Amino acid sequence: MSIFTNALSIAWKDLYSEWKTRQVLTTMIIFAGLVIVVCSFAFDPTNNTTKAVIPGAIWIIIVFSGILGLNRSFVSEQKNDNMHALLTAPLDAASIYLGKFLANFIMLLIVEIVAIPFLFLLFDFREMGSFPYFILVLFIGSFGFVAIGTFLAALAANSRSSEMLLPIMLFPLVSPILIGAVQATKIILTNIDKLPNAISWIQLIGGYNVIFFVLCVLLFEYVLEV
Amino acid sequence: MKTTLNLEQEPFTKLKDSLVHRVLVWATIISILTSFYLIFIYAPLETTMREVQKIFYIHVSSAWVAFLAFFVVFVLSIMYLVTRKRIYDIYAGISAEIGVVFTTIVMTTGPIWARSSWNTWWAWEPRLTTSLILWFIYLAYIMIRQMDGAWDKKARLSAVFGIIGFIDVPIVFMAIRWWQSKFHPIVFGDGPSQKGGGVEPEMLVALITMTISFTLLYVVLLQKGVYLEKAKITVENWKEKLREKLVG
Amino acid sequence: MAYMLGAYSVAWVIIFVYLLTIGKRQTKIVKEIEFIKEMEK
């Protein structure tokens, strides 16, 4: 399957150049930390009721620091006309999408691994309903967010003001994921008795992911045409 | 080498509306007046909500037109991507614009109704919230259309977004309905904009007439908008030719 | 009653504002055509 090996090499290229500079990832992590600090100013962490805002805070961190990475993902290819090189290379458009998606997804997961324990630490959050399900929600929610985000980042990169265009396109489209993920996270963290509800939210997000992942792979060649 | 533009023979020099368009304009005006008669005089007052219930007619019919407009955007986006004819793109752009206008009507009449019957300006009721998200999606669509660059690039990207955005709408609706029903007790009943709960036949007649007249208004606005857009493109071409003539 | 009147007037204000923007577009195009005709002479 050459599509997947090509995708892997594109993802590898992105992650390797990120490893060399560590520019985007550092910015994302610092930004996530700042969002946590802002959250702790906005919702008093010593107050017991603030436990209720933790699920929301988790997804605010993911969305806002994710969008920083997504913004850079295709704009960075415009330097030295890299995008043209990618397009003239004997690659399927789908493999460019898959590669970019994979790189963005891995970067977002790294940010989550660093930022969420930090959030729990600062908000003094100890008991959790179910750890495996928590990981599952984070994984599946971030998957959908990055899938549609990578697609729209490629779309926005055609514009000179892509940093402004991307959030405006992305937020309304991912609203089902955000609703589902926040609700599922809330149930899993604080109210584990209602686990079946959380599972049906996860199924909703899963359905959304399948539909949009397929759509994005199919439509990506139209976004990249020159 | 001097070429004249032959402006007198071009169709857009006088910007005269076609006969079909004028007939449609008059049909729209007459049907809107008729539906006003049906709404305010013919249809009976609802027993509990009294006059406020009459917001229902304009609210539901503009929601219908907005949805129709966005569906048209979706179909035309697919057709543009398949055929690459500019006319589909022009129609899609104008249709999205009109859809946003009618969604704005839904978004303003909805809270007024909510204020009078639920005593709150905004309820996170599934239909109302979905219209809000819909409004944001198509504002983004219009922003893509106003991007810098060549028309075919903008047409291609906005067509892609038109497809993705429309497919997103039912999922948004489903997510919001779950969110509302599973975690809050149902306070407001089933929401006001419901066909259920005893709609009398006179009310239904008024609603259908209002919907038809708004659909006619949509067709008229679409026709006019597309006509002006075409004229604009022609004028741009003339300007280009004129510039070449002046330089050469 | 006031709510109903409010809702209907808001709805029609929105429609008329849109009609006005269409009118503006039209006058702009007419002006440009006039200008081009002027240049042609």
ipTM for the whole complex: 0.90
Q: Is residue B83 included in any domain, yes or no?
A: yes
Chain B neighbors of C3, CB-CB under 8 A: 51-52, 55, 112-113, 115-116
How many domains does chain A contain in total? Answer: 1
Higher pLDDT, B192 or A17: A17
Q: Which domain holds residue B152?
A: 19-44+51-191+201-239
pLDDT at position B198, please?
A: 54
pLDDT at position B195, please?
A: 41
pLDDT at position B184, please?
A: 40
Asked whether residue A172 carries a pLDDT value surpassing 90, the answer given is: yes
- pLDDT tier, C16 (very low <50, low <70, confident <90, very high otherwise): very high
The pair of structure tokens assigned to B153 is: 């690039």
Contact A169 B140 (CB under 8 A): yes
Mean pLDDT of the region A60-75: 92
Decide: A100 and A14 in contact? Cβ < 8 Å. Answer: yes
Higher pLDDT, B124 or A134: A134
Chain B neighbors of C15, CB-CB under 8 A: 101, 105, 217
Instruction: Quote the CA–CA distance of A125 and A50 in Å, as a whole number.
Output: 10
Block residue for tokens 């910015």: A27
Instruction: Tell me how many residue pairs between chain A and chain B have CB atoms under 8 A apart.
Output: 85
Chain B neighbors of C21, CB-CB under 8 A: none
Chain A neighbors of B165, CB-CB under 8 A: 172-173
Contact B235 C25 (CB under 8 A): no
Name the average pLDDT for chain A: 89
Q: Which of C11, C14, C26 sits opposite B228 (nearest CB)?
A: C26
Q: Which of B55, B112, B235 sits opposite C33 (nearest CB)?
A: B235
Q: Is residue B1 included in any domain, yes or no?
A: no
pLDDT at position B185, please?
A: 38
Mean pLDDT of the region A89-112: 92
Q: Which of B104, B225, B231 sits opposite C14 (nearest CB)?
A: B104
Rounded to a whole number, what is the distance in Å from the CA of B209 to chain C's nearest CA? 16
Asked whether residue C40 carries a pLDDT value surpassing 90, the answer given is: no
Task: Map chain B to HEC letters.
Answer: CCCCCCHHHCCCCCCCCCHHHHHHHHHHHHHHHHHHHHHHHHCCCECCCEHHHHHHHHHHHHHHHHHHHHHHHHHHHHHHHHHCCHHHHHHHHHHHHHHHHHHHHHHHHHHHHHHHHCCCCCCCCHHHHHHHHHHHHHHHHHHHHCCCCCHHHHHHHHHHHHHHHHHHHHHHHHHHHHHHHHHCCCCCCCCCCCCCCCCCHHHHHHHHHHHHHHHHHHHHHHHHHHHHHHHHHHHHHHHHHHHHHHHC
Contact B51 C11 (CB under 8 A): no
Instruction: Quote the CA–CA distance of B141 and B158 in Å, as a whole number.
Output: 6
pLDDT at position A150, please?
A: 95
Q: Is residue B29 included in any domain, yes or no?
A: yes
The alpha carbon of residue A93 and the mean position of all alpha carbons in its chain are separated, in whole angstroms, by 21
Q: Which of C14, C30, C33 sits opposite B105 (nearest CB)?
A: C14
Decide: B215 and C13 in contact? Cβ < 8 Å. Answer: no
Q: Is residue B156 included in any domain, yes or no?
A: yes
Asked whether residue A106 carries a pLDDT value surpassing 80, the answer given is: yes
Contact A155 B139 (CB under 8 A): no
How many domains does chain B contain in total? Answer: 1
| Whether B215 contacts chain C with CB within 8 A | no
Decide: A172 and B133 in contact? Cβ < 8 Å. Answer: yes
Model's pTM, two decimal places? 0.89
List B50's β-bridge partners, or say none: B46
Mean pLDDT of the region A187-203: 87
For A100, A135, B4, the CA distances from B137, given in Å and listed in that order, are 24, 30, 45
Contact B113 C29 (CB under 8 A): no
For A150, A162, A180, A192, the CA distances from A147, given in Å and listed in that order, are 6, 18, 16, 28
The pair of structure tokens assigned to A127 is: 């008991």
Q: Which domain holds residue A220?
A: 2-224
Instruction: Quote the CA–CA distance of A26 and A33 in Å, as a whole number.
Output: 11
Share of chain A above pLDDT 70, in %: 99
pLDDT tens digit at each of 248 positions of chain B: 345 555 555 556 566 778 888 889 999 999 999 888 888 887 777 666 677 778 888 888 999 999 999 999 999 999 999 999 999 999 999 999 999 999 999 999 888 887 877 777 887 777 788 889 999 999 999 999 998 888 889 999 999 999 999 999 888 888 888 887 644 434 344 444 444 445 677 788 888 999 999 999 999 999 999 999 998 998 888 888 888 888 87
Grouping H, G, I as helix, E, B as strand and the rest as coil, residue C41 is coil
| Whether C20 contacts chain B with CB within 8 A | no
pLDDT at position A145, please?
A: 96
Q: By mean pLDDT, which of A84-93, A122-131, B2-11, B226-235 is the weakest?
A: B2-11
Higher pLDDT, B12 or A149: A149
| Whether C41 contacts chain B with CB within 8 A | no
Domain boundaries, chain C: 1-41
Higher pLDDT, B44 or A221: A221
CA neighbours within 13 Å on the CB side: how many for B119?
Answer: 1
Asked whether residue A179 carries a pLDDT value surpassing 50, the answer given is: yes
Mean pLDDT of the region A180-194: 88
Asked whether residue A131 carries a pLDDT value surpassing 80, the answer given is: yes
Contact B217 C15 (CB under 8 A): yes
Mean pLDDT of the region A206-216: 94
